[in-house]
Structure 1
Amino acid sequence: MAPITATTMRKVVAFILAVSVDLLLFYASGFAVFHSVFRHFTHLWLSAALRWLALIGVSLLTLGVPKALLIRFITAHSLLPAVFETGTNALYREENQCGQLGDVRCWLMFSGASLATALFWEITIPDTDEEVAGIEKKQKARVLFMRVLRLYRPDYALLFGGLVFLSLAVICEMFIPFYTGRVIDILGSNYQENDFLSALLFMGLYSLGSSVSAGSRGGLLTCAIHSFTCRIKVMLFGALTKQEIGFFETTKAGEITSRLSKDTTLMGRTVCLNVNVLLRTFIKTMGMISLMLSLSWKLTFLVLMETPITGLLQNIYDTHYQKLTLAMQDTMASSNEVANEVVSGIRVVRSFNAEKHETRRYDDRLMDTHNLKTQRSTVRVIYLLARRLTGLAMQVLVLYYGRLFIQRGQMTTGNLVSFILYQSDLGISIRTLTYIFGDMLNSVGAAGKVFEYLDRKALVSTDGKLQPDHLSGHINFRNLNFTYPANPTKTVLQDFSLELKPGQMMALVGPSGEGKSTCVSLLERFYEPQQGEILLDGKPLKSYDHQFLHKKISVVNQDPVLFSGTIKQNIEYGLKSCSLDEIKDAAMKANAHDFIMQLEKGYDTEVGEGGGHLSKSERQRIAIARALVRRPRVLILDEITSSLDTESEKKIQQSLSSIPNQTLLVIAHRLKTIENADQIVVVSGGKVKERGTHRELMDMKGSYYKLREELFTEGNSPHH
């Protein structure tokens, strides 16, 4: 058993001493009242002040400077008897036993209530570092919410119209319970037909006005939501397309699509609808409290005592609910990622008989979401149960005191009925206010993730302005060091230097994964090298205008990507104006015109999703035509001949060689593709190992010679 420390002993002594002193003062105060030493409420507040000073003094002497929570408890514990006696007298107009002569039962009741009050204060207005961070988080959520509202600026007219109809609907709705009570009083007293018909007429008019206004409000707000959602989706999509390639390699596709489809919709609907409910409920609450005060101010103050309890429950609920909601959004993004991977790679899944494995993997992700949903639902059930019990207890108290006030002639039966109707709505409204305020902050969690992408600056800048009238296509790689963002520990290029002269053909060869395609990616400015630079006509590549650069440098990859649409649309992809003659000319150079014309619709033939209606060779040739139609000064062919037959390859080579002063960079495994190159460069380990013409390198009998023996054998040639 652990020994009792001096600190523990000091706390025990402080507790015993504080209880003894407080009980003594509590009984002394009750004894003084019972013997009529004081006849007014002055004694209650004097004794409260005396108890507070005594308890604070004991704490200072035994524990030192007390903590904030202890000070709150002492304050509530000292003042509560005086507050209770004063409030009871205001309602009953007679003294209460606990106020006259206190006993242990009353003391324990006040202690429990004081502890609950201190804890409520601690939760809603915390002092610990962790909870101060929670306040900062809520403050950040408020900033995000205001930013969302500013994005609604184009729809302010619709929102204003919705606010007007919202106010009218609430005002009309508020007077219905009032006239219900009037009808009951008219029927219960001397019946006057005119008064009765007048009350019914006003009830009908207010009901009609409430219905029409509510419908108009809903229509206007729905239009505003749809407009906002469409606008924010376009903004986010535009921001995503401007990000560097490394962003898409390190960010899961499921997460991106989830933000684009789900979070933008949630952001627009939840925030706007919550503002609608918040304003409607606030206006209605203020109006109902005013009408309730006119019916009975005593019952109104009694009902308002429910508010702090509701606020405490809501605060606890919001904290847990928000945490589970954010976790659930992440698991949903994860399950979307699995589904996207399987759908896009279904051929691989089928080839390796991995259908059951992928189904289990998807099921695991869904179960994670299901478990979080279950936890969230459990939290909500407990919260709703506590909220209903609180509301039921308050209804019982209102009925009890309402009966007393009717007996004393302080209110009529109709007034009580109206008050109960208002009280039922008021409880719902107050709970809605506390819930909506928390939910509104929760909903901007989705907005925060959207803004995170909207605010993100691409690591590869596209702010260059240079657009020279003449570009020769002279390229210099100077001392490049590069690692991919997705794998920063592996260096792909080391002190890499290379020169491509205008009008020449250069071939990059070497084993796979040694940096050849990386050179192409850097030349396209998909990435930024960690060290070194790439010069185009002596100017840094990043200083050129983004659109200009990608028109002058065109790339055809081994696996070209085509988009849904026609062949014509794919060839002119990205160009603002391109004539059909230019498209046909490029297609002829790419040896694609003949097979296109054999199709039923020619250049208007749909290629299908990803070009699925065409063979790989046909997609390859359309991709070459797409590059050539731009009339680039630098053309990069990355392993494109693997899908082409010998005749197509020969025709394409002839077409490319006929283009004057074009810088051509080729990455290929076929000997026939590269042996006529002006310069062949062997890349190994991220460095330039050898360079020269085909004959020079063969004579050296170095790395290129060995590669020719291993990779460029006749067995790899289409001629066999």
Structure 2
Amino acid sequence: MALLSAGLLPGVLLAADALALVLLAPLVPVLAPLGLVGVWLEATLRLPVLAVAAWLLAPRHPSRATAAAVTVATTPAVFGTFQHLLGQPGAGPGLLATAPAWLGVAHAAAALALLAWAAPPVPGGVSETPGDVPKSPGTVWRTLALTWEERKVLGAALLCLVLAIVARLCKNLSLRLFSHLVHQDLDFFQGTPAAELLAQFSLEVPRVCMSVPMGANQLLRSLVMAVVVGTFMVGLAPGLALLALLEVPFGIATHRIQSARKQALQQSMMEASARTAAGVQESVAAIETIRIYSAEKEEEEQHRCNLAKELKLKEQMELELAFFTLVHRVLQLFIRVLVLFRSHQQLRDGYITPGVLVTFLLYQDRIGSHVQVLLYGFNEFLTNAAAGQKIWEYLDRKPTGSLGGTREPPELQGHVTFQKVSFTYPGNPEHPVLKDVTFEVRSGEVTALAGPNGSGKSTAVALLERLRDPGSGTVLLDGIPLPEYEHQYLHRKVVLVEQDPLLFSGTIRENVVLGLEHCKESELQEAATAAGAMDFIQGLEQGWDTEVGEHGGRLAAGERRRVALARALLRRPAVLILDEALDDGDEGAAQRWVRAGLAQTVLVVSHRPRVLDAADRLVVLGHGAVVETGTPAELRERCGAYSRLLLGGDSTGQPEAPRLGSEKGAASGRR
């Protein structure tokens, strides 16, 4: 019978709907211009006819009949509304009377729904009597009850989902932060301790990422419960509820003050921890120097001072936490005493009953716990989110130099020109390191850059490598300013090798072919032979597959330099820069590399007379300016600055800013 009724009801509704549309036909000219309003007016006018027909057919199930009538009446209007809101192409919502096809669609959907929800025949042929009342709970509650039995599995699944979200947030934020930092200028890295950057990745990034899903889950759950319980309290006793809810604004005020103080102290704490870690890192890196000068006691005292500062900040944080906790507990106690006093008055005057009072107090205790979770959770959320303030500062920082060049010519001659270049380090703006420096490094030649300490040689190399940009003037490569070249292309064509370069953990082969693809074995061996590295590599037990250790520590300094030279020559650079990378026995190597086509132009920075005399041309710097240029023989005959330099005179000059050292060479090699 249920299936029969479910199949008969759609037919009756269809007939009733057709009758309603016939009766509404005269109103079509009035409703059509109204658009969406007209569609809903038509549905409203159809609804009484459909409801009466459905109720006459199924008087024992009025709710089912009403639901069917409402569904049939509103389905076209709802679809038209969504079509209008979503901006679907085509005509706007129209009346059902002007689109008869919709009549069949709406009623067919209703018929399928009624047939699907109809009660199935009772097994055993027992018919359902009109007075039967279902004894079992509804399917929704039974499904929820069954779900609750699997709460442990669902809880584990939810936990895994939260952890997955946190992992993805950490990954994305770490990647974005690292990608942004590697494009910063060198002044940023010189002014920021490495330990501070490491702390951001190891501590602050996970902390910020954990605060988002955990805090949102906790705050949303407590907020919903607080609103629900608060509504019940207002329903029981509005006056008492207003008094009890005074705890919320007072709690928010105290926690906001506490949060501001905690954020400030936490920032100071993080900076102190970074200083401590930086001191440890520096001491470990310079342990040989500490041992040579017997400075162990001084380093211990410095570390003790750093730890004392951290401890002082931590104690201050704990004291302020205790103070604000005391203030909040006193306010909470005062409000509860006030509620009890007022409830006693209302109970005495008969405004509330003892049962209402007991229920209200239970609700108050319940809402108090949720408010506490809200306040502490929100405070913790703000604190954790504020811990990432330094991260957002790093992400918002823009590098001073521009890396937006696009030029990638197929060939470069390697002709370098310095045109009236001046440069001043940001930390010492009153003393320029280079002043209107102009010289050339010609293609196919070996040019040596000489001068006393502090004359600007390393700064000139940094400008040519575009590790820095000149304050004024221009550095040209083949007549084109360096900023116009694409960043990666430029550093494949201009390669630097320093006196003590860093290698990366891995094998010798991996360090030499770093960043190159499809490198031929013959090219690899040619570069290693030209760099003088082939003999010692073949003498190793594992040859090219020998592990060099962290920073190449398993190799001697000379072996590391040979590997770095092989790495540079394998790239066949247009400009090869050798910063104190040649010994006295290598004075003729640069010319051989140019003749063999392994490098088109070589710029040598050295203080060794034999290396300088082997160059094709010399550029002598003094006090940040070019004082002499010419061949070694010409400069010897002049008996000027170059001759005094060879004799050991004029060895002083204004100091340059601290050099990047091996880090600069590592960055160049990685490029």
TM-score, length of structure 2 as denominator length: 0.70
Partner of residue 431, structure 1: 372
Partner of residue 694, structure 1: 632
| Structure 2 counterpart of 1:345, from 267, 286, 289 | 286
For the pair 1:289 / 2:198, whether they are aligned, the reply is: no
Matches of 2:215 and 2:522, distance apart in 1:
56
1:169-188 matched pairs, under 5 angstroms: none
> Shift in Å at residue 207 of structure 1?
8.3
Matches of 1:272 and 1:254, distance apart in 2:
28
Partner of residue 270, structure 2: 329
Structure 1 contact 514–686 (Cα < 8 Å) conserved? yes
Structure 1 contact 591–651 (Cα < 8 Å) conserved? no
Matches of 2:322 and 2:147, distance apart in 1:
35
| Structure 1 counterpart of 2:476, from 519, 530, 535 | 535
Matches of 1:651 and 1:494, distance apart in 2:
32
**1:560-611 CA distance string (max 9 Å, x none):** 0111111111112233443444322211111112211222222221111110
CA distance 1:422–1:352, change in 2 (3 Å):
farther
> Shift in Å at residue 395 of structure 1?
4.4
Structure 1 contact 514–685 (Cα < 8 Å) conserved? yes
Partner of residue 601, structure 2: 663
CA distance 1:540–1:497, change in 2 (3 Å):
same
| Structure 2 counterpart of 1:512, from 434, 453, 458 | 453
| Structure 1 counterpart of 2:310, from 354, 358, 369 | 369
Letter in structure 1 aligned against 2:498: N
| Structure 2 counterpart of 1:320, from 254, 257, 261 | 261
CA distance 1:532–1:409, change in 2 (3 Å):
closer
* Structure with the larger helix share: 1
Matches of 2:143 and 2:477, distance apart in 1:
81
| Structure 2 counterpart of 1:440, from 347, 367, 381 | 381
Matches of 2:158 and 2:597, distance apart in 1:
65
Letter in structure 2 aligned against 1:666: V
Partner of residue 171, structure 1: none
**1:173-215 CA distance string (max 9 Å, x none):** xxxxxxxxxxxxxxxxxxxxxxxxxxxx999999868776655
> Shift in Å at residue 392 of structure 1?
3.6
> Shift in Å at residue 523 of structure 1?
0.3
SS at match of 2:582: helix
Matches of 2:146 and 2:320, distance apart in 1:
42
Letter in structure 2 aligned against 1:262: L
1:120-519 matched pairs, under 5 angstroms: 215-396=156-337, 410-411=352-353, 413=355, 419-519=360-460
> Shift in Å at residue 505 of structure 1?
0.6
Letter in structure 2 aligned against 1:315: R
Matches of 2:305 and 2:632, distance apart in 1:
55
Matches of 1:537 and 1:447, distance apart in 2:
45
Letter in structure 1 aligned against 2:634: E
Matches of 2:150 and 2:430, distance apart in 1:
69
Partner of residue 709, structure 1: 647
Partner of residue 577, structure 2: 636
For the pair 1:672 / 2:602, whether they are aligned, the reply is: no
Partner of residue 542, structure 2: 601
CA distance 1:387–1:217, change in 2 (3 Å):
farther
Which deviates more, 620-629 or 205-214? 205-214
SS at match of 1:555: strand
Aligned residues: 510
RMSD across aligned positions (CA): 3.0
CA distance 1:334–1:451, change in 2 (3 Å):
same
Matches of 1:398 and 1:208, distance apart in 2:
40
Matches of 2:623 and 2:417, distance apart in 1:
19
CA distance 1:561–1:703, change in 2 (3 Å):
same
1:538-687 matched pairs, under 5 angstroms: 538-642=479-583, 646=585, 654-659=592-597, 662-687=600-625
Matches of 2:445 and 2:332, distance apart in 1:
84
TM-score, length of structure 1 as denominator length: 0.66
CA distance 1:691–1:594, change in 2 (3 Å):
same
> Shift in Å at residue 439 of structure 1?
3.9
CA distance 1:202–1:540, change in 2 (3 Å):
closer
Letter in structure 1 aligned against 2:637: D
Identity %: 37
Which deviates more, 687-696 or 598-607? 598-607
Letter in structure 1 aligned against 2:551: G
Matches of 2:344 and 2:599, distance apart in 1:
101
SS at match of 1:640: coil
> Shift in Å at residue 672 of structure 1?
2.0
CA distance 1:204–1:313, change in 2 (3 Å):
farther
Structure 1 contact 556–640 (Cα < 8 Å) conserved? yes
SS at match of 1:272: helix
Structure 2 contact 569–599 (Cα < 8 Å) conserved? no
Letter in structure 1 aligned against 2:480: K
Letter in structure 1 aligned against 2:559: E
CA distance 1:316–1:581, change in 2 (3 Å):
same
> Shift in Å at residue 679 of structure 1?
0.5
> Shift in Å at residue 398 of structure 1?
5.2
**1:347-387 CA distance string (max 9 Å, x none):** 22222222221222122122212111111111111111222
Structure 1 contact 250–486 (Cα < 8 Å) conserved? no
Structure 2 contact 421–471 (Cα < 8 Å) conserved? yes
Letter in structure 2 aligned against 1:543: E
**1:196-253 CA distance string (max 9 Å, x none):** xxxxx99999986877665544332222112111221111111111112222112222
Letter in structure 2 aligned against 1:519: A
Letter in structure 1 aligned against 2:418: F
CA distance 1:439–1:608, change in 2 (3 Å):
same
SS at match of 2:647: helix
Letter in structure 2 aligned against 1:522: L
**1:649-685 CA distance string (max 9 Å, x none):** 6667644543377111001122221212110111111
Matches of 2:598 and 2:213, distance apart in 1:
60
CA distance 1:663–1:556, change in 2 (3 Å):
same
Matches of 1:333 and 1:425, distance apart in 2:
43
Matches of 1:529 and 1:712, distance apart in 2:
26
Structure 2 contact 504–550 (Cα < 8 Å) conserved? yes
SS at match of 1:247: helix
Letter in structure 2 aligned against 1:429: H
Structure showing greater Rg: 2
Matches of 2:151 and 2:507, distance apart in 1:
54
CA distance 1:692–1:409, change in 2 (3 Å):
closer
Letter in structure 1 aligned against 2:640: G
CA distance 1:381–1:576, change in 2 (3 Å):
farther
**1:369-414 CA distance string (max 9 Å, x none):** 211111111111111122223334444555666677778594565x
Matches of 1:296 and 1:445, distance apart in 2:
40
Structure 2 contact 575–600 (Cα < 8 Å) conserved? yes
Structure 2 contact 233–363 (Cα < 8 Å) conserved? yes
Matches of 2:418 and 2:493, distance apart in 1:
17
SS at match of 2:409: coil
Structure 2 contact 421–474 (Cα < 8 Å) conserved? yes
CA distance 1:212–1:305, change in 2 (3 Å):
farther
> Shift in Å at residue 440 of structure 1?
3.2
